[in-house]
Chain A
Amino acid sequence: MNEEQKLADFEARIERGEIIEPKDWMPERYRRQLIRMMSQHAHSEYVGMLPEGNWITRAPSLRRKMVLLAKVQDEAGHGLYIYSATETLGIDRKELLDQLLNGTAKYSSIFNYPSLSWADMGTIGWFVDGAAIVNQTMLAKSSYGPYARAMIRICKEENFHKKQGYEIITTLANGTAEQKKMAQDAVNRWWWPSLMMFGPTDKESPNSAELMKWKVKIKSNDELRQRFVDLTVPQAKAVNLTLPDPDLKLNEETGHWEFGHINWQEFYNVIKGNGPMNKERLKARNEAFEKGKWVREAALAYAKKHNN
């Protein structure tokens, strides 16, 4: 079979809704797009541990401390799981990690914002994990088997993450005046960056068309963003918190919540590395890696001495 026939076959399989497995033939471009997307996802889980990790030692009750620690630890598990799924495409974790550490790989822009108060733990769970659920529920139907299966497993935990976040926010919103203020402040800071998490608008998204043609993605950035807004607005109302968008209003005809203009200049700035925490996040990852060098070497030397 020549390449052209293989590609036609592959696209027919996708068309029929078949799932592509690692050993199946796939166009190089499909493989590369998946590696890019999945590794960005894995890096996001890994870097995403930092803003919440920042509050584990200050969690205000034992239960909250345990839930937050368990949550951040789950994210480590997600990272590991998605790195493994990416390895099925013929690249190893070490190479992916190098790309993260030397700054050439991307990860979700949201984690370049600082976590400034305890209420951020609520808002991150509510918005960021909430947005992740919207995105990952779609990816669970992705055409690449290992990615889809990873998403199904991860989504269960994301639901718990979102729940614990919304629970924190609900408690604060119903708490003392100071707690309520803290909650509103966090919502104000995280709302717009959360909308940006879904990526550029469909018009500006360079990879979207191809990813959707191959059913790696089933829905577009704008569709997913809209779904998130529609889900979140009523949740904010339910706890009497205001979303910082004066243009937010329900379109009675479509049933969708229309929202104001997203500051895309900020988004591209963060993507380029100029967000409030880009340098710190990368520095933290590099520091952990450097400080751990002797430990990894020791483990390797020990294994060599004792395993053969």
Chain B
Amino acid sequence: MTNILDKNIQNALFNYILGLGDDRLILGHRLSEWCGHAHILEEDIALGNIGLDLIGQASAYLSLAAEVENKNRTEDDLAYFRNEYEFKNFQLVEQPNIDFAYTIVRQFFFDVYEGIFLEELAKSKFEQMAGIAKKSIKENIYHTRHSRNWILRLGDGTEESHVKTQTAINDLWKFTGEIFSENENDNILINENFAPDLKPLKSKWNEIIKSVLNEATLEMPENIGFSSGSRSGIHTEHLGHLLAEMQIVARSFPGAKW
């Protein structure tokens, strides 16, 4: 299928799938930073599981992106040999762990988006991409249950956990605006029924977030000061450090196999 695509569409598709892969790779990487350092063994396992699912999905998307690009690159070339400005992940997912509240809030914002988004992406006319989406739906249900349960426990737990979680929500809120924004690249694919139209989905996300935060006695912030541009390579300062660590071994031995 990929070799009969119009050049324009092929390029848009490559960028789009790259974004999907990068979101999951960077978020999975962040979760893997917890491994061995969580507050209880059960949570080491849970965060590790979710991280593994996400990196697995990332690997599938990046390998598909490489196939669409058709320039003899592999998923590892894409993960390890691109620079900050070539990464297209949401700024939300590159935000540092800071503490368990930040980690859970970041995850919850993403999981709810992912749940809504996957259902639509699974209908894509581009079957290989729809296939990955379908496969991740089950994983997402588990991820969302995990982050949602923690939002409730932290929000409605102790005074301290409530304050920490509300702080994380307030700080991370500005990164949530761009996850439903569309650019020209997306529009090309929406016209072809390759990518879902995100605009109608935003209100659904808002509703779910609002109701869970409400149940957790937490407040939903006002919609102000959204950052954007990650899909075209604009990031926060955190991404560079993450990539420096992630890519160091691969880049130190060019041409080596692992």
The chain A residues found within 8 Å of chain B, CB to CB, are: 46, 49-50, 53, 56-66, 69-70, 72-73, 76-77, 79-80, 83, 118, 168, 171, 175-176, 178-179, 284, 287-289, 291-303, 305-306
Beta-carbon contacts under 8 Å, B229-258 to A: 245-246, 248-250, 253, 255-258
Question: Please, which residues of chain A bring their CB within 8 A of the CB of B154?
Answer: 295, 298
Beta-carbon contacts under 8 Å, B117-140 to A: none
B32 pairs with A69, CB closer than 8 A:
yes
Contact A284 to B256, CB < 8 A, known contacts A73-B52, A295-B161, A297-B158: no
B157 pairs with A66, CB closer than 8 A:
no
Cα A217 to Cα B76 with chains together (Å): 45
Question: Please, which residues of chain A bring their CB within 8 A of the CB of B158?
Answer: 294, 297-298, 301
Interface centre among B33, B43, B152, B256 (most CB of A within 10 A): B256
A69 pairs with B39, CB closer than 8 A:
no
A295 pairs with B152, CB closer than 8 A:
no
B256 pairs with A176, CB closer than 8 A:
yes
B41 pairs with A80, CB closer than 8 A:
yes
A66 pairs with B52, CB closer than 8 A:
yes
Q: How far is the CB of B150 from chain A (nearest CB, A)?
A: 9
Q: How far is the CB of A160 from chain B (nearest CB, A)?
A: 14
The chain B residues found within 8 Å of chain A, CB to CB, are: 25, 29, 32-33, 35-45, 48-49, 51-52, 55-56, 58-59, 62, 75-76, 79-80, 99-100, 152-154, 156-158, 160-161, 164, 245-246, 248-250, 253, 255-258
Q: How far is the CB of A5 from chain B (nearest CB, A)?
A: 41
Q: How far is the CB of B24 from chain A (nearest CB, A)?
A: 11
Cα A289 to Cα B36 with chains together (Å): 11
Cα A132 to Cα B128 with chains together (Å): 42
The residue that A49 contacts in the complex, of B36, B43, B79, B256, with Cβ under 8 A, is B36
The residue that B161 contacts in the complex, of A73, A287, A294, with Cβ under 8 A, is A294
B253 pairs with A176, CB closer than 8 A:
yes
B38 pairs with A292, CB closer than 8 A:
yes
A53 pairs with B35, CB closer than 8 A:
yes
B55 pairs with A69, CB closer than 8 A:
yes
Question: Please, which residues of chain A bring their CB within 8 A of the CB of B40?
Answer: 292, 295-296
Cα A289 to Cα B37 with chains together (Å): 8
Cα A294 to Cα B80 with chains together (Å): 36
Cα A171 to Cα B255 with chains together (Å): 13
B249 pairs with A62, CB closer than 8 A:
no
16 pairs, A vs B, C-beta closer than 8 Å: A60-B249, A62-B25, A62-B76, A69-B32, A69-B55, A76-B41, A76-B44, A76-B48, A79-B41, A287-B37, A291-B39, A296-B39, A298-B160, A301-B157, A301-B161, A306-B156
Cα A69 to Cα B246 with chains together (Å): 14
- Given contacts A76-B36, A294-B164, 17 further A-B pairs with CB under 8 A are A53-B37, A56-B33, A61-B80, A69-B51, A70-B52, A72-B36, A73-B48, A73-B52, A80-B42, A171-B258, A179-B253, A288-B39, A291-B99, A293-B39, A295-B100, A295-B161, A299-B153
Cα A176 to Cα B87 with chains together (Å): 29
- Nearest B residue (CB) for A117: B249
Cα A259 to Cα B245 with chains together (Å): 39
Closest 5 CB pairs of A and B: A292-B39, A298-B157, A298-B161, A53-B36, A73-B48
- Nearest A residue (CB) for B49: A73
Q: How far is the CB of A95 from chain B (nearest CB, A)?
A: 15
B161 pairs with A297, CB closer than 8 A:
yes
B246 pairs with A288, CB closer than 8 A:
no
Cα A179 to Cα B252 with chains together (Å): 11
Q: How far is the CB of B27 from chain A (nearest CB, A)?
A: 13
The residue that A62 contacts in the complex, of B41, B58, B161, with Cβ under 8 A, is B58
B258 pairs with A64, CB closer than 8 A:
yes
Q: How far is the CB of A212 from chain B (nearest CB, A)?
A: 31
B52 pairs with A46, CB closer than 8 A:
no
B79 pairs with A62, CB closer than 8 A:
yes
A284 pairs with B37, CB closer than 8 A:
yes
Interface centre among A56, A62, A289, A306 (most CB of B within 10 A): A62
Question: Please, which residues of chain A bring their CB within 8 A of the CB of B49?
Answer: 73
Q: How far is the CB of A247 from chain B (nearest CB, A)?
A: 34
- Nearest A residue (CB) for B44: A76
Question: Please, which residues of chain A bring their CB within 8 A of the CB of B246?
Answer: 57-58
Question: Please, which residues of chain B bring their CB within 8 A of the CB of A301?
Answer: 157-158, 161
Cα A168 to Cα B258 with chains together (Å): 7
Cα A303 to Cα B258 with chains together (Å): 46
- Nearest A residue (CB) for B51: A69
Question: Please, which residues of chain A bring their CB within 8 A of the CB of B100?
Answer: 291-292, 295
Question: Please, which residues of chain B bring their CB within 8 A of the CB of A179?
Answer: 253, 256
A58 pairs with B248, CB closer than 8 A:
yes
- Nearest A residue (CB) for B157: A298
Contact A69 to B52, CB < 8 A, known contacts A58-B249, A294-B161: yes
- Nearest A residue (CB) for B245: A57
Question: Please, which residues of chain B bring their CB within 8 A of the CB of A292?
Answer: 38-40, 43, 100
Q: How far is the CB of B152 from chain A (nearest CB, A)?
A: 7
Question: Please, which residues of chain A bring their CB within 8 A of the CB of B25?
Answer: 62
Cα A53 to Cα B35 with chains together (Å): 6
